[in-house]
């Protein structure tokens, strides 16, 4: 194939991987309306991926967007707790209904299907991946501008299923300032490139701590590598999230929507620019 790929397979004669992926895409529920889907990924656990998903969704909602969150981390769902959502998911002959956060964000999560939120989900990969697909094909997403998918860490069954079967407009990669971050980000970038999905931004959590006395930024976990890595892999936007006690306090209290930050504005701008999967 010559030149750059536009991802418009209808006008292309090349038999490339993007064309093969096209046939694997699943249609959303017939009553759903979703304009753009954004995946939030990480190469390893414990970097604050679910927190980033929540903050991005809350930020987008404050910009006037109709927002949804698909919690695809089936065995470790944490989205509902951060939003203070406890009610059970309901359904009828039409399909599965989302649960609504206090500010109006639609969401589905495994924890909203369990009798007890502390009950473990002891399932094999194929069952987990199938459940994630049901969150797309069987759930009714009502007039959603941006649907964020909080994916489990790594490049296993669920991320592969989402990349192949759901029309992603792009992904946001979440990381922290440790030395192994380059390798972790590289894995996520390479997977995105193989699957033909744009990387829209890099979010570095726990990037720094602001001294409460002098206001100096202290890089607790070492010097930030986010800008250098973003430049190396041509990632267009970087957000550096601080170690801030208010974030954990609000998340624990189910009030993550109350957190105010401008740190995500550049990443959000790239999300706004991203083309829908079916755009030419």
CA dihedral 233, 239, 244, 249 (to 10 degrees): -100
60: DSSP letter? H
Tell me if 141 sits within 8 A of 68, measured CB to CB.
yes
C-alpha–C-alpha distance, residues 2 and 242, integer Å: 43
Each residue's pLDDT tens digit in the chain (280 positions)?
Answer: 445 565 555 446 555 655 544 558 999 999 999 999 999 999 888 889 999 999 999 999 999 999 999 999 998 889 999 999 999 999 999 999 999 999 999 999 999 998 776 677 777 878 999 999 999 999 999 999 999 999 998 878 899 999 999 999 999 999 998 767 788 888 899 999 999 999 999 999 999 999 888 889 999 888 898 999 999 999 999 999 999 999 999 999 999 999 999 999 999 999 999 987 665 4
C-alpha–C-alpha distance, residues 195 and 278, integer Å: 15
Q: Are strands 199-204 and 209-210 parallel, antiparallel or unpaired?
A: unpaired
Q: What is the pTM of this model?
A: 0.89
C-alpha–C-alpha distance, residues 171 and 37, integer Å: 9
Tell me if 233 sits within 8 A of 187, measured CB to CB.
no
């Amino acid at each position: 194939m010559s030149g750059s790929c536009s991802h418009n397979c209808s006008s292309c004669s090349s038999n490339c991987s993007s064309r093969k992926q096209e046939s694997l895409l699943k249609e959303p529920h017939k009553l759903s309306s979703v304009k753009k889907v954004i995946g939030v990924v990480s190469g390893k656990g414990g970097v604050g991926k679910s927190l980033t998903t929540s903050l991005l969704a809350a930020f987008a909602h404050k910009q006037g967007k109709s927002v949804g969150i698909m919690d695809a981390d089936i065995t470790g769902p944490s989205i509902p707790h951060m939003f203070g959502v406890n009610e059970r998911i309901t359904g009828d002959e039409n399909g599965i209904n989302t649960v609504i956060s206090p500010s109006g964000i639609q969401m589905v999560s495994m924890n909203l299907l369990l009798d007890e939120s502390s009950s473990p989900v002891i399932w094999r990969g194929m069952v987990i991946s199938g459940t994630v697909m049901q969150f797309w094909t069987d759930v009714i997403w009502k007039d959603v501008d941006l649907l964020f998918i909080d994916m489990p860490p790594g490049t296993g069954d669920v991320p592969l299923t989402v990349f192949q079967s759901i029309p992603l407009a792009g992904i946001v990669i979440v990381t922290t300032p440790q030395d192994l971050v380059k390798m972790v980000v590289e894995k996520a970038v390479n997977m995105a490139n193989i699957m033909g999905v744009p990387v829209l931004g890099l979010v570095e959590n726990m990037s720094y701590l602001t001294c409460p006395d002098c206001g100096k930024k202290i890089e607790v976990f070492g010097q930030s590598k986010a800008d250098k890595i973003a430049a190396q892999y041509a990632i267009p936007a970087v957000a550096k999230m601080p170690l801030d006690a208010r974030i954990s306090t609000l998340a624990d209290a189910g009030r993550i929507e109350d957190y105010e930050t401008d740190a995500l504005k550049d990443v959000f701008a790239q999300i706004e620019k991203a083309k829908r999967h079916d755009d030419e």
